[in-house]
Structure 1
Amino acid sequence: MSPIKIGIIGGSGFANPDLFTEEGSKEVKTPFGNPSAPYRIGKVNGIECVLLARHGANHTIPPTYVNYRANIWGFKELGCTHIIATTACGSLQEDVHPGDIIMFNTFIDRTNLRTSTFFDGTVTDKTKGVCHIPMEPALCDKLAEVIYNTACERNVKAHPKGTVVCIEGPRFSSIAESKLYRSWGAHAVNMTAVPELCLAKELGLLYCSVGVVTDYDCWHEVIVNAQDVLKCFKKNIEKVSSVLHTAIPKIASMSWDDDIESLKKVVASSMVN
């Protein structure tokens, strides 16, 4: 069984020393520029992990201007095989409540200003050609299942699957947009799923997204605002941290050789040179 290394994308909730034992930090230079912040190197419940604050150490980078390519490339450079991404999201359904977590399994892309591939032929010889990566499955179901089952064991309200609509941001949805997304049957809306998950798949990284539901967007009775979203996210990130504290050793004890090899073949078969 080959060793694995887990990357975690998230916020300040992982600064809790009871969760994360930090051994240092590392700045990574990539062909695509600088990642959002230095990578924190350490252990979660004894398992080696790499942590990155998606929006920078002080949440100063808007969703559109996150350097997603540099962030994901850096995880690969540091030897990561898996990525667990935490993200705030707004619920689009009555039964998905603020405080719940939701494991996304597919997405609808409503962004329009972001580069969603490494393979544009402009940056590095390693990314020559065109990569027509399939997006079904969009995320790693096996990884999501471990986290969902762990949440249930810890009595954390969780949803095993869900469709996320990724909007450009940083503005929130209009009421017309929110109602449209609901009519599509989507479960949540956020601003960072794309191109993060697409880029991870292109590099052969097993990726899952843990949505932390912070609000009901604007279709519900209360209009969403940024301060309430951040307050709810910070309140509930400890809940997610406790789930990951238990789930990560489980992930590390499993064999992922077949999953990694299968994804490598998908990437190779997607290339047109």
Structure 2
Amino acid sequence: MAHAKIGIIGGSGLYKMEALKDVEEVTIDTPFGPPSDAIILGTLDNTRVAFLARHGRNHTLLPTELPFRANIYAMKSLGVEYLISASAVGSLREEVKPLDMVVPDQFIDRTKNRISTFFGEGIVAHITFGEPICTKLAAVLADAVESLQLPDVSLHRGGTYVCMEGPAFSTKAESHLYRSWDATIIGMTNLPEAKLAREAEIAYATLALATDYDCWHPDHDSVTVEMVVANLHRNATNAQKVIQETVRRLTENPPESSAHSALKYAILTPLDKVPAATKQKLELLLKKYL
């Protein structure tokens, strides 16, 4: 059985990892359907990692269409314990410039049409989510960014990621509202991804890559699609360097994460009362508690 302790989900612009060696594609069937694409297993500095293009390698899936449950379940089935989410975002703050990197520590969920849990169908669980990012994994990620001293890139530790439904971008009124909430960045994909990773007991952290200022900015109209696409490509190049350094650090010193036992006190339903079909469906998540 293929195995990887570290998983990477690549967002807009990051559809493959150039540095991966000994690459193999793994097609995984899950109880929640197929993931966004085949998962690419490869070696990064002697460490086996699993890479998934969030929107598919040809960017064919809208944010709302993403099979979030299948993506996380597939990573869990490969043994992933640490999940790095690389995500393109818009900036809600003047100081977060295009090409900057943010490692957020909070989320605001503005999605409307997504299933954000593995549970239901006869089993109830309520994970704690006050700290939605694994702080230890986030620290490793931020330290990796800082150590590389990438040109034209500033690191912002902490901040709030607003996750909107999409696919249209914000209205100006919405953008100003999010700024009034002291939010830092805005994107369309990291929820319910982070919630499902927590339910799967996977440590999760976001590497947010700013492509542009959201529409609140007075100079927004001067931003062209060509500029945003150029920033996506530059971000993807930078992200791969950060991910490689993060993987090296995680391999040398993997941190203990409270996410790895997130279900210990979260399941309210006695497991002997869970319907057999549901128990079988969720066996991958429940087996250490059965």
The aligned counterpart of 2:180 is 183
Judge conservation of contact 1:131–1:271 (CA < 8 Å) in 2: yes
Name the structure 1 match of 2:213.
Answer: 216
Using the alignment, how far apart are the partners of 2:227 and 2:193 within structure 1? 25
Tell me, what secondary structure is at the counterpart of 1:272?
coil
Which of 259, 265, 268 is the equivalent residue of 2:264?
Answer: 268
Q: Map 1:97-116 onto structure 2 (within 5 A).
A: 97-116=97-116
Question: Normalization by structure 1: what TM-score?
Answer: 0.90
Q: What is the match of residue 136 of structure 1? A: 130
Give the Cα separation in 1 of the matches to 2:56 and 2:38. Answer: 9
Alignment of 1:58 with 2:54, yes or no, is no
- Number of the residue aligned with 2:239: 240
Superposition map of 1:1-273 within 5 A:
5-11=5-11, 13=14, 15-17=16-18, 19-121=19-121, 128-156=122-150, 157-220=154-217, 221-223=219-221, 228-256=227-255, 258-259=256-257, 262-273=258-269
Closer, same or farther: CA 27–225 of 1 in aligned 2, 3 Å = farther
Deviation at 1:218, TM superposition (A): 0.1
Tell me the equivalent position of 1:124.
none
Distance 1:25 1:190, change over 3 A: same
How far did residue 239 of structure 1 move?
0.9
Change (3 A) 1:120 1:173: same
Can you give the 5+ residue segments of structure 2 that lack an aligned partner in the other structure? 270-290
* Distance change >3 Å, CA 39–CA 4, structure 1 → 2: closer
Identify which range, 19-28 or 183-192, moves more after superposition: 19-28
* DSSP 3-state at the match of 2:194: helix
The answer (yes or no) to whether the contact 1:89–1:190 under 8 Å persists in 2 is yes
* Alpha-carbon distance between aligned partners in 2 of 1:139 and 1:227, rounded to the nearest angstrom: 32
- Say if 1:22 and 1:183 are closer, same or farther in 2 by CA, change over 3 A: farther
Amino acid at match of 2:102: I
Deviations 1:198-248 (A, max 9, x none): 000000000101000001010012146665433311122111111221221
Conservation of the 8 A alpha-carbon contact between 2:47 and 2:247: yes
Q: Given the two structures, how large is their TM-score scaled by the length of structure 2? A: 0.85
245-254 vs 217-226, which deviates more? 217-226
Per-residue CA shift, 1:108-163, capped at 9, x if unaligned?
Answer: 00000000000022xxxxxx511211112101111111111121111132111110
* CA apart distance, 1:179: 0.3
Residue 222 of structure 1 aligns with an amino acid whose one-letter code is H
Aligned residues: 261
Q: Which moved more, 1:155-164 or 1:204-213?
A: 155-164
Q: Distance in 1 between matches of 2:136 and 2:260?
A: 16
Give the Cα–Cα distance (whole angstroms) in 2 for the partners of residues 202 and 190 of structure 1.
Answer: 22
Q: Is the 8 A contact 1:4 1:82 kept in 2?
A: no
Residues 33 and 70 of structure 2 are in contact (CA less than 8 Å); yes or no, is this contact kept in structure 1? Answer: yes
CA positional deviation for 1:265: 3.5
Cα distance in 1 between the residues matched to 2:33 and 2:224: 32
Aligned position for 1:125: none
Structure 1 runs, 4 residues or longer, greater than 2 Å off: 11-17, 223-231, 262-266
Give me the whole-angstrom Cα distance separating, in 2, the residues matched to 1:31 and 1:247.
Answer: 31
Equivalent-residue separation in structure 2 for 1:264 and 1:211 (angstroms): 23
Per the TM alignment, residue 45 of structure 1 is displaced from its structure 2 partner at its CA by: 1.8
CA distance in 1, matches of 2:241, 2:96: 20
